[in-house]
Amino acid sequence: MYEAGDTLLFFTLSDRRQQVPFEKEKVGLNHIAFGVRTLEELQTIQAQLDHAGLSHSGITLDRYGLKEFIWLDDPDGMRIEFYLREQ
């Protein structure tokens, strides 16, 4: 379990292999994005991913919204994104 503010996130490992590979362009969820309030929060997420040895995009500037973000793919190929949404 992870906490993001008042939000609790649960991720579960399974020993069963997925029947078909995840394809983000099929019907259903394409990816999930979580907003963060500061660049420091985004940098903390990057440091945690690095510490865990997880591959990720690094903090990058979104070409459409011109805001910083970082993403990674979970073991099933689902994209998880953390996006700077300053208040």
Between 37 and 30, the higher pLDDT residue: 37
DSSP 80: E
pLDDT of residue 18: 63
Q: Which residue, 10, 62, 70, is CA-closest to 36? A: 70
Q: How far apart are CA 83 and CA 42, in angstroms?
A: 8
* Mean model confidence pLDDT for the chain: 84
Most confident of 10-14, 27-31, 52-56, 74-78: 52-56
Cβ atoms 64, 8 nearer than 8 A: no
* Residue 9: pLDDT over 80: no
**C-beta neighbour count of 12 within 10 angstroms:** 4
Sequence spans of domains, the chain: 31-87
CATH architecture of the domain 31-87 equals Roll (3.10)
Between 87 and 44, the higher pLDDT residue: 44
* Residue 59: pLDDT over 80: yes
Q: How far apart are CA 68 and CA 10, in angstroms?
A: 25
Output the six-digit token pair for 82: 């953390």
